[in-house]
Amino acid sequence: MDADKNSSVLITGGRGFIGRTLGKLLQRAGYRVVSLDQNAPAESGDDLESVHEILCDICDSFQLQRVFEEERIGGIIHLAAILPTAAQRDPLRATQVNIVGSLNLLEMARRFGVRRFVFGSSLSVYGTWGADQFVSEADRAAPEDLYGAGKLYIERLGETYRAHGLEFVSLRIGRVVGPGAQSASSAWRSQIFELLSASHPTEIALPYVGIERVLVLHVDDAAKMLVKLLQASRLDHAVYNAPCESMVVADLKQTVQALNSNISVKLGDGYAVGNPRLLDASRFEREFGFVAVPIIEQLTRTAT
């Protein structure tokens, strides 16, 4: 959809890691942005102060309906979710937000005539695959946790809503890295960028063994991919793998340490269970002409 001064793009989870970057990117592209989040709207001086922020729980259909009654929404990018670690701790809340909240949003989109609904899904819908297996959208989905199962269910639900005229499309996203993640369970995703300027000895803990591979993408590229799906004049598929880079953990450790000798990267004994290690994202790359910036290049840019 093209930028329309008479309608807005609604971002759920707008105060989140990807949501903040996405909001700024959409504004630069000329869109009016409405950001929904359970966290309090930004105070003056925040980087999102020009975005129209609304405090809203998507589980509350009455709150959500008021938003759609008051705002003319032309497109939705749905990122709000209870993430895997928190979902394991509180499965009730995770089900309310990830399933019921998403259903509420889909139903509002149908009722209020929204054209395009872009869903931030996850590569966790695939479950664990072998170290030498490339996984494409044609391969079976077999999530191993509540979070991945919820993402897969909403994809199936979205396909049903496509029959009711809603242009639903899902982007299956890997581990997103970059400054500003504010994650307690996987702080390394931001630390490998934020600590590159450290002037004293600093340690970053990665939970994986050195031989493991993890599929990662930079937050800037994740936001650009979501905008591509929002803007596309046509969508040939309902599901796309987000182009990610398969990085060997030991190589990531070596790169970060080489960029700043004050940093020591400590590896753990974990494996990337619940996700593929190698990905076929040629569908997205081919249809949208997208090339992600390599993570090592992103790190080098940050360090210089």
**Which residues does the annotation mark as catalytic?**
147
Among the listed residues 140, 248, 273, 263, the one whose alpha carbon sits nearest the alpha carbon of residue 196: 263
The alpha carbon dihedral of 206, 210, 214, 217 has a sign of: positive
Question: What is the rounded distance in angstroms from the CA atom of residue 212 to the CA atom of residue 268?
Answer: 11
Q: How far apart are CA 153 and CA 119, in angstroms?
A: 12
CA 158 to chain centre: 17
